[in-house]
Structures are given as C-alpha cells and as structure tokens.
Amino acid sequence: MSHAATHDQHDDHHGAPKSFFQRWCMSTNHKDIGTLYLVFALVMFFIGGSFAMLIRAELFKPGLQLMQPYFFNQLTTMHALVMIFGAIMPAFVGLGNWMIPLMVGAPDMALPRMNNLSFWILPFAFTLMLSTLFMAGGGPAGGWTMYPPLSLQSDSLAYVVFAVHLMGISSIMGAINIIATILNMRAPGMELLKMPVFVWSWLITAFLLIAVMPVLAGAVTMLLTDKYFGTNFFNPGGGGDPVLYQHIFWFFGHPEVYIMILPAFGIISEIIPTFARKPIFGYKAMVFAIASIAFLSFIVWAHHMFAVGLPMGAEIFFMYATMLIAVPTGVKVFNWVSTMWGGSMTFETPMLFAIAFVILFTIGGFSGLMLALVPADFQYHDTYFVVAHFHYVLVTGALFAIIAATYYWLPKWSGRMYSEFWAKMHFWNSVIWVNVLFFPQHFLGLAGMPRRIPDYNVAFANFNMVSSIGGFLFGASQLIFLGVLIHGVWFSKKKATDRVWEGAKGLEWTVPSPAPHHTFEVPPVIHDDELAHGHVND
C-alpha cells in the first residue's frame, strides 16, 4: 500500500515505534490499542476468575472452611465488577478497536488520541478498585449492584464510586469513538446495510453505552453524597427512597446487560456464515433484531425488581415488555440455525465456540423467559436459578463469543495459526465443565438456595460440590487458552494466509496476515462479492 497518499505528520507510517513505552503507552494506533484492551481484559478475566475459584472453594461443602462471610461478600462483589467492567466490556471494546476499522475499510479509529486515553484510564480505575481489598475495612461487599442502604455501610464506597466513574468515562469515550468511526470513516461503497453484523452490533451498543453510563455515574454519585455529604436521596429517614436507587441502577443495568451481549451476537453472525460457507440468513432481520432488543432494553429494567413490592400494574407492564424480547432473540437464533442449514460446514475452533454459544445462550434465554413470569420469579428471584441464568448468558454467551472471536481473528492479528488441537482441547474442556459448573445451579435455585451466601444447608451440598468441581476444571481449562494464545502469538511455526479461513469474506481478510501497522491508508475499492453481506437486497 502506498504511503505517498498520506498527509499525516506522524513519523510512524513505516511501522510501529521501536521503543516499548512509545509503542504501547503513547499509541494512537487502533491495532495496538485493541491489543492493549484485549490483554487487559485477559488479565482481568484471570483475576476475576481467581475470585470465582475462591467462591467455589468456600461453597465446596457446607460449613465455613476458608474465609469469613464478609470476605466472601467482597469476593462475590469484586468477581462481578471485575468480570463485567474489567473483562467482558474491555474485551468487546478491544475487538471493536481492532476489527471495526479493518471491516469498514478505515485507516484507524476516528479519534485516535481519545482512543489512547479511554484505554489508559482503565488500569488506573481497576488499581483503585482492587486496592481496596488490601485496605483495612476491605473491599466493597454489598454486591456489584451497590444497593443502599447496605452499600453505604462500606468503608470503600468512595474508591469504588471513583473507579466506576473512571470506567464510565472510558466506556463513553470508547463509544463515541466507535460511532464516529462507523458513521464517518467507512470506505466508499461500504453502505450501512452492507456492513458486517459485528459493526452494526457495535454501532447500536455504542449508543446504549452513551445513553446509560451517565445514569450509572449519577446513581453512584448520589450514593457518594448520601454517605459523605449529608444528602438523603436514598435514606428514608431524610425523606429518600432506597428503591429509587434500584430504579436508576437498573435503568442503567438492563441496557448494560445487552451491552455485554449485542457485540457477541455480531461476532457469532460473522463466524457462522464463514464456516457454513453460506451467506447469513436474513441479514436485515438480524440488524433489525439487534436494534429492537436495544430499544426494548430501556423499558424492562424493573424485571430485576419484581420482589421489591412494585404496584400490580408495573409488574404486569414489565413482565409483558420483558417477554417481548424473546421474539427478536428467537429470530436471531432461528436465523443462525437457518444459516447453517444447507451450508457446507467445517468445525474449526471458532465455529465450535459459536455453535456452543447458540445452544447455551439459548438455554440462558429460556431461563430468562421463565424469570420474566412474575409469579414464578417470586420464587426464582435472588436464588441460584438467577445465578445459573446470567452465567449461561454471560459465560457461555458473551465470554464464549469473545473466545470464538479471538480464535477467529488471532491469525490475522499475529500472522500465525494457533494450534487447532490444543484449541479444540480448550473448547471441549470448557464446554463440558461450564455445564457441570452452572447447570446444577438451576436445581439449587429451584430447591431454594439464595444467592450470595457463603454457607448452606446440607440439602444443597451435592449439587454445590458438583458445581465446584465443574468450576475448578473450567477455571483450569482457561490455562489451556492462555497456552494456545502464547503459542499462537509468538511460537507457532504455521504462517497464516491472508484469507485465513476458506469461507471468510469481508475487508479484514484482504489485508496481509499479520495485519500491518497501518492499513487502508488509501480507501479500498469495494467489490460487493468480497463482502460478507454485500448482496443484501438480492
């Protein structure tokens, strides 16, 4: 690609800067920042995972063996905060950073310096938050939802609130960047309705982020002023209302749930057509389904609050609105299956994870439908049934999609093929043990085991032990992932081709593997045949 056409004053057109500090800390390159996000997410995934291992160790059998209940509560709280804000969200932002410019034919993100800032805030935010674990008084222990008045009893509230503010700023900047990139930087001919579904899903997700992260910031700021500045937003003694917080929080929280799954839908919608060698079924329906799920996410928040004593009319409204989400979600699942039908399928690791995603995410969707039914939710609410539900949608949903995306695009990033054998070992171990881990939790919840308890009656002992064994082995399986990644980035002898996968379509496969430091400095000439979704109107 010619450098003559560029007009930028930077001196880094000829490759990445040599100095480590310059390259990684001062980077404005979407690929390097994408890598930073992904590495950060991986580190957080193992930190959050180690909390989960401790939780499952304490729950291995009845009686307290390892830790005081208060520390257990810190672990459940931190596990959620780290996994949601530290692992899943940054991983999707990293994938977006790396792939969106490559997929739409842009030379970089629209706002490269802001891109650097939005990443480099995160390590500081998490240092702030994780440091509370080493302080007198300990970390936050009131759950990741930080419901007052309980969260106001915590000594570490201020740290967590500031950390959440930083994460929010980071997310909003990332979202602005993605929207600006997608709307302004597409190569000529890359019309909106020819964009990859992954790009569409990120565009919609970015709008969700901008809409709701300020709401979270407002909610936690009110917590802060309630605790330290004498306000009474949530204090009934001063005319406030603890339930008000829950409304504000979940107005953020439910769109947040979709922020963590919509990009996953996008990823799966790229991977399945590639390995089925057949165009995605119902491209427009897929995009429209993502948009309708995003819209509905704003009007279902109180389904997290069916047990707070809402008026009957509110319970009925939020139940109906929640059940409605099953329709576009169903459309997506049916379309993925139809994409596979009549294809010519091979089952490389990205495809295996994508197929596991479709099945296991759907199981999480089923329990979601059951949870939407208010009278049944009176039983399910705040039990292990809910824990099973959201781990099916977040672990076998969001996380499996991230892993699938990593295997799918890693050869493009590193220029080397990962070890298919060890990747399949990782897949089969993950998919078996994750079910041993989470499926019995449905039974525990139905039998009456509440969430967030460090100890339980002996009737719950059997399934907890099964779940813990599954947990340890699922955790250990992720070390295989780490090994495959290290090998696939630095040591693999097998070079990746530019196309990487036989059935792969789209602009990202037209650049060399590994993708050079700068790509599409001159906009590519788009041929609809080369795009994954170039013939939508046919």
Partner 1 sequence: MTSGGIRRSFTAWAALALASFGGVAQADPSPYQLNMERGASTWSQVPYDLNNISLGVCVVIGILVFGAMFIAMFRFRKSRGAVAEKWSHNTMLEVVWTTIPVIILIVLAYLATGGITSWSDTTGSQMTVKVTGYQWKWRYDYVDYLGKPISKVGFMSKLDTQSDQTRQLGSGMDPYAVKVGDENTYLLNVDKPLVVPVDTKIRFVITGADVIHSWWVPALGWKLDAIPGIINAAWTNITVPGTYRGQCAELCGQDHGFMPIVVVAKSKADFATWLAEQEAQSAAPVAAPAAASTAAVPASAQSAAAPATAK
Catalytic positions: 79, 108, 144, 170-171, 254, 256, 258, 269, 303-304, 329, 332, 451
Nearest to 430 by CA among 370, 490, 482, 501: 482
Nearest-angstrom CA–CA distance, 133 and 12: 41
For residue 201, the tally of other CB atoms under 10 A from its CB is 30
- Tell me which of 384, 460, 472, 501 binds partner 1, using CB under 8 A: 460
- The minimum distance between CB 327 and partner 1, in angstroms, equals 6
Question: Which listed residue (135, 342, 428, 476) binds partner 1 by CB under 8 A?
Answer: 342
Looking at 455, 498, 521, 530, which residue binds partner 1 (CB under 8 A)? Answer: 455
Q: Residues 37, 392, 456, 520: which binds partner 1 (CB under 8 A)?
A: 456
Identify the CA nearest to 429 among candidates 464, 403, 406, 411.
403
Q: Kindly tell me which residue out of 4, 5, 136, 312 binds partner 1, with binding defined by CB under 8 A.
A: 312
Please give the C-alpha separations between residue 144 and each of 73, 134, 329, in angstroms, as whole numbers: 10, 18, 26
Question: In the chain, what is the greatest distance between 2 CA atoms, to the nearest angstrom?
Answer: 73
78 binds partner 1 (CB under 8 A): no
Report 240-279 residues binding partner 1 (CB under 8 A).
Answer: 240-243, 276-279
Q: Find where tokens 């880094």 sit.
A: 12
Task: Report the residue from 124, 228, 341, 428 that binds partner 1 according to the rule CB under 8 A.
Answer: 341
Dihedrals phi, psi of 158, to nearest 5 degrees: -60, -40
- What distance in Å separates the CA atoms of residue 530 and residue 509, rounded to the nearest whole number? 9
Is residue 537 classed exposed, middle or buried when 0-12, 13-18 and 19+ CB atoms within 10 A define those classes?
Answer: exposed
Residues numbered 374 to 393 that lie near partner 1 (CB under 8 A) are: 374-376, 378-379, 381-383
Distance from C-alpha of 46 to C-alpha of 283, rounded to nearest angstrom:
35
Binding track, positions 199-238, relative to partner 1; x by CB under 8 A? -------------------------------------xx-
Residue 338 in the binding site for partner 1 (CB under 8 A):
yes
Closer to partner 1 at the Cβ: 3 or 527? Answer: 527
Among 69, 112, 189, 218, binds partner 1 (CB under 8 A): 69
Q: C-beta of 245: minimal distance to partner 1 in Å?
A: 10
Note whether 343 binds partner 1 by CB under 8 A: yes
Q: Pick from 153, 192, 420, 421: which binds partner 1 (CB under 8 A)?
A: 153
Give yes or no for residue 93 binding partner 1 (CB under 8 A). no
Rounded Cα–Cα distance for residues 203 and 179 (Å): 6
373: contact with partner 1 by CB under 8 A:
yes
The distance of closest approach from Cβ of residue 77 to partner 1 in the complex, given in angstroms and rounded to an integer, is 9
What's the min distance (Å) between Cβ of 164 and partner 1?
Answer: 18
Name the nearest CA neighbour of 48 among 18, 13, 91. Answer: 91
- What does residue 148 show for φ and ψ, rounded to 5 degrees? -80, 160
